[in-house]
Structure 1
Amino acid sequence: HPNYAERHDPDHRPLPNGGPTLKVNVNQRYATDSTGIAVFTAAAERAGAPWQPFVSNNAMPCGTSIGPLTAARLGVTTVDVGVPGLSMHSARELCGVRDPGYLAAILTTIMVGD
């Protein structure tokens, strides 16, 4: 968020139209595992779609998702991925116009193949 730049790792700030974000956290607060990263990044390359790593600032706590619990119980390869947005849950929430298409292309490549 431009008003809270200090909340992001300075080397991993998500940008609109830079592609979907793949969330990773040193404390495993997101569901992403190494196999999931490999599958996702290979699919992005095959789809010709950009993606961005989302790394939370290690100096401050971050939220979590239900992903780690679900992944642990199901035992499936998992990625915590999404379209970067500004003002989440706001009536004025917005995202880059290209990012949903990039994510769709990557997920289609994973689910359907090349």
Structure 2
Amino acid sequence: MLLRATAPVTLPPEAPLSTPEVLEILRQRWQASYDLQLIVRRGRLYLQVMWGYLEQQSFPMTAEQYEAQLEELVATLNGLGVAAQVRGWLLTTTDKPRLGKAMNLALDLPEGRASEFLI
């Protein structure tokens, strides 16, 4: 099942992210379903918007694989308590994905949550 983008819904900032919402933001902002990844660098957790996207012929995932990965990522972001931070950044960043250069958001994790994810 491939997710379909829907009309944007105004949500309270503290509302959890949903996979369709993230997909809609990506498609509205940059007209593509970009790959998102979490990475740990120097003891910090970052959300990256990669330069590869689902609509690209050479993209290494099927639509189903992309959807499953995005669902898992969204669940992790909600579990970390950073939904509002991610939503705000995706909606307002002036940067855009470029070949070979990922966009990075350093996540400010609530106290206690960082130790669960940063080993």
Fold shared, TM-score > 0.5 on shorter chain: no
- TM-score when normalising by structure 2: 0.28
Higher share of residues assigned strand: 2
Higher relative contact order by CA 8 Å / sep ≥ 6: 1 or 2?
1
TM-score for both structures, normalised by structure 1: 0.28
